[in-house]
Structure 1
Amino acid sequence: MSAEAKRKATSVLARRLGVVLGAVGLAAPLTVAIGGSAQAAAPACTTRTGPYQKEAEKFLGRPVDGRQSAADCRAVQSYQTRNGIRPNIGYAGPVTWAAMQAESTRRDPDADGKCPVNKGRVACVDLSRQISWIQDGKAVKFGPVPVRTGRKGHVTRTGAKKIYWRSVDHWSTLYNVRMPYAQFFDGGEAFHAIAGSVWSPPGSHGCVNMRTGDAKTYWSMLHNGDNVFVYGRKPGT
């Protein structure tokens, strides 16, 4: 084969190889996207009936029969996914019900009159419902928002307290962890933000854990000397 013929053959082969590689290059992102989509898909729904099945069905507008169905599970799972509750498998457990309670009490969180809201601005913490809000007289100024309080053996202490020290970027030397927007109201107990989910078990070492946005709002609305009132009992403690 002459040199010219070899050059032409090489050129044809290169063009064909370029077409093949181009096709592979176009297909590769699609494969990655499909793989990523599969990884992000919601986990399978559980067939188990949770202890708060009826309550969840009522809250979500489902037929209330207290028995898990595929449609019930999808509705609960969708709610869990929207609110960052894990595992989001559609099981109506205490964490999911606590989040629903926090949402359902938004209009009048002190309907039971257990937090003394007649003494000016107060940050109320209801351990039973795992919620907190800021109220001034009859007006709810912020919340209620979900919180995570002390676990068994480290329960958040109840009673009337006052904020006495604030540290915007606090570092706990005891637990070696950041406590952003920390506002201390009883010994080492404070309102502060956490990086993880406020619905994750088992709970704090006594502090009132909050989502970052909520803790930041508390920081802007409360000051040293402001009232805090903690009442109730966290389930499981």
Structure 2
Amino acid sequence: MSNRAGCVAAGHLAGLLAGLLIVLAAPGVAQASSVGAARAAACTASAGPYQKQVEKHLGLPVDGQQSTADCEAIAAFQREHGIEPADGTADLHTYRAVMWQQALAEGGAIKGCPDTDGVVVCIDENRQVLWVEDAGRVAFEPVPARTGKPGYGTRTGWFEIFERVEEFWSDLYDGPMPFAQFFSGGQALHASYRPIFEDPGSHGCVNLRYDDAKALWGKLKLGDEVYVWGTRTGD
């Protein structure tokens, strides 16, 4: 190849590269490329321990195998519910969010809490959800909850709310317990500032998201019953 021919080929290649850079610099293309790269980077996780359960809930093919589409759908679900890292792994934290969503979908048909003539706070430790029934009807829809970690288990059985303190401070654990409603010794329903689905569990209290605890505060009174059953999975 002559020097001239080589120069022409190099010039042509330079032109192609310049054109490519211009295209990639276009806002829409650059953004799409960036989003695509971010998704590819975030969704390389393998199947998690709750893969099939999460796939079923999200309407994905239930095969227990992690595909890119599965990973992206799970990661989107995690972002929606504030689960970190939102990497597409079907882990226990994600499964807890799924269990809450399923309880919510059951509506008035939700099971597990004995019917009474009055108000009862229903706390299902198996699914880590809380709701309220009034004369057997759901009066406060299921919300995610976090019960006691190993060694600090939330007591199970029947209780009554015996004290309510809107702005309580725990001297024992040196921390706030907004909208605290005590039902068994030092164990209370109260707001938590931590992400609700994460570990570890509480020191025995029933933690709720701030807005849920605030709404529950307006629904209950002294003497209302509390029924706790099941076992928390995880730390």
What TM-score does the superposition give when structure 2 sets the normalisation length? 0.80
- Give me the identity figure in percent: 47
Match of 1:94 in 2: 92
> Aligned pair 1:208/2:206, yes or no?
yes
CA positional deviation for 1:179: 0.5
Structure 2: runs of 5+ lacking an equivalent: 1-30
User: Out of 114, 120, 123, which is 1:122 matched to?
Assistant: 120
Match of 2:150 in 1: 152
1:75-123 C-alpha deviation (Å, 9 max, x unpaired) = 0000000111111111101111111111112244685743112231100
| Aligned partner of residue 236 in structure 1, secondary structure | coil
> Aligned pair 1:195/2:193, yes or no?
yes
Which amino acid in 2 is paired with 1:161?
F
Distance 2:112 2:77 in 1: 29
Match of 1:66 in 2: 64
1:26-65 to structure 2, matched below 5 A, reads 44-65=42-63
1:99-158 C-alpha deviation (Å, 9 max, x unpaired) = 111111224468574311223110000001000001112321112000111001101010
Distance 1:77 1:112 in 2: 28
Match of 2:102 in 1: 104
When the two structures are aligned, how many residues end up with a matched partner?
201
CA positional deviation for 1:44: 1.4
**Cα 1:112–1:79, aligned 2, differ >3 Å: closer, same or farther?**
closer
| Aligned partner of residue 132 in structure 2, secondary structure | strand
User: Out of 65, 82, 85, which is 2:83 matched to?
Assistant: 85
Q: Is 2:108–2:138's contact at 8 Å kept on the other side of the alignment?
A: no
CA positional deviation for 1:46: 3.6
Q: Is 1:56–1:92's contact at 8 Å kept on the other side of the alignment?
A: yes
CA positional deviation for 1:235: 1.0
Match of 1:177 in 2: 175
1:28-56 C-alpha deviation (Å, 9 max, x unpaired) = xxxxxx9xx99xx7771242111110111
CA RMSD, Structure 1 to Structure 2 (Å)? 2.2
> Aligned pair 1:162/2:160, yes or no?
yes
Q: Is 1:47–1:69's contact at 8 Å kept on the other side of the alignment?
A: no
Distance 2:53 2:63 in 1: 10
Q: Is 1:46–1:91's contact at 8 Å kept on the other side of the alignment?
A: no
Distance 2:99 2:153 in 1: 21
Distance 1:219 1:162 in 2: 14
**Runs of 4+ with >2 A deviation:** 107-114
Distance 2:53 2:215 in 1: 30
What TM-score does the superposition give when structure 1 sets the normalisation length? 0.79
Structure 1: runs of 5+ lacking an equivalent: 1-33
